[in-house]
Amino acid sequence: MAMELLCCEMDRVRRAVPDGNLLHDERVLQNLLTIEERYLPQCSYFKCVQKDIQPFMRRMVATWMLEVCEEQKCEEEVFPLAMNYLDRFLAGVPTPKTHLQLLGAVCMFLASKLKETIPLTAEKLCIYTDNSIKPQELLEWELVVLGKLKWNLAAVTPHDFIEPILRRLPQDNEKLPLIRKHAQTFIALCATDFKFAMYPPSMIATGSVGAAVCGLQQDEEVSSLTADALVEMLAKITNTDVDCLKACQEQIEEVLISNLQQFQEQGDGSKEEEEVVDQASTPTDVRDIDL
């Protein structure tokens, strides 16, 4: 008895159980689909806003943010949500590249506070920037980012769609945890790639689940659905255009393959310069995925 109480208190993360009423209610999914567009970045900012920041720099900061989130065992949503903040900020504010890592840290700081029981601290994030920024700067920029995001922090992310989609798929319950895990990894992968930044979260989620199911079905020959039937069913769940969804799923699979290749090259080749390795580093979870 006493032990049980102690265990509860020591448990780091407290989570609510999934609420079947919410997950099965059609209105919840419809409302998510209605509001998701509000939280997309307003433009392709490399073309129309940023002068100093290049796409590869976004990739560098995204890779770093993912590493921090994984090392700190953040909730899965924290990283994509932080990237959403970063993209929305950059879509409005021309920013020098020297501020980019600070911004990434601020976005993780905010996303972590919104989503986690015990959030990342300012001090810790500063250490992760190799102390190139001070906690006070982080806190001041936090207000700047909040202001520019108009305090709209509860953005819809692809993760919001994962459970509603999985609940509507005719899949064995035993397979669901693995599908979920792979889909989450695909979502993180998408968040590191700017090509997906303007896609609606529902499409990324649907494509990720599709890619996860297809990937797992290649292993076992127990596919109850053909690939086409699966895409059509998924498209129906999130009201996505079938062709768009197919294209999205293919892009996700391509990104996975190119990441895996980069990872292998990294492993085979001799140690290159640190910066090159950084750009090519792979989200660690991808290593677990068998194609």
Cβ closer to other proteins: 43 or 257? 43
Contacts of 136 (CB under 8 A, 6+ apart): none
Secondary structure in 3-state letters for 218-229: HHCCCCCCCHHH
Q: Is 140 in the site for other proteins (CB under 8 A)?
A: yes
Among 146, 176, 225, 233, binds other proteins (CB under 8 A): 146
- The binding track of 215-254 with respect to other proteins, each residue x by CB under 8 A or -, is ----------------------------------------
* Residue 253 CB neighbours (<10 A): 17
Q: How far is the CB of 288 from other proteins (least distance, A)?
A: 19
Which of 30, 31, 34, 132 is the binder for other proteins (CB under 8 A)? 132
Q: Tokens 């996303």, residue? A: 111
Best CA proximity match to 29, nearest among 120, 158, 213, 160: 160
Q: Which is nearer to other proteins, 60 or 179 (CB)?
A: 60
Instruction: Using the minimum distance from each CB to other proteins, give the nearer residue, 67 or 253.
Output: 67
State yes or no: residue 67 binds other proteins (CB under 8 A).
Answer: yes
- Which of 173/270 has CB closer to other proteins? 270
96 touches other proteins by CB under 8 A: yes
Residue 134: closest CA among 146, 122, 120, 145: 122
Closest to other proteins by CB, 64 vs 161, is 64
- Residue 153 corresponds to which amino acid? L
Q: Does 98 participate in binding other proteins (rule CB under 8 A)?
A: yes
Determine, following the binding rule CB under 8 A, whether residue 167 of this chain makes contact with other proteins. no
Say how far apart CA 227 and CA 266 lie, in whole Å: 32
Three-state DSSP state, 133: coil
97 versus 168: smaller Cβ distance to other proteins: 97
Sequence-distant (≥ 6) Cβ neighbours of residue 275 within 8 angstroms:
none
Reading phi first (left if > 0) and then psi (alpha if -120 to 50, else beta), residue 73 is in left
Residues 102, 129 contacting (CB under 8 angstroms):
yes
Q: Is the CB of 221 or the CB of 274 nearer to other proteins?
A: 274
Contact status: 127 vs other proteins (CB under 8 A): yes
Whichever of 85 and 109 has its CB closer to other proteins, that residue is: 109
Member of 30, 31, 34, 136 binding other proteins (CB under 8 A): 136
Measure the CA–CA gap between 282 and 253, rounded to whole angstroms.
14
How distant, in Å, are the alpha carbons of 69, 138, 162, 248 from that of 241?
33, 41, 18, 10
CB 109 within 8 A of CB 131: no
148 near other proteins, judged by CB under 8 A: yes
Q: Which residues bind other proteins (CB under 8 A)?
A: 9, 12, 42, 57, 60-61, 64, 67-68, 71-73, 93, 96-102, 109-110, 112-114, 116-124, 127-130, 132-137, 139-144, 146-148, 150-151, 153, 278
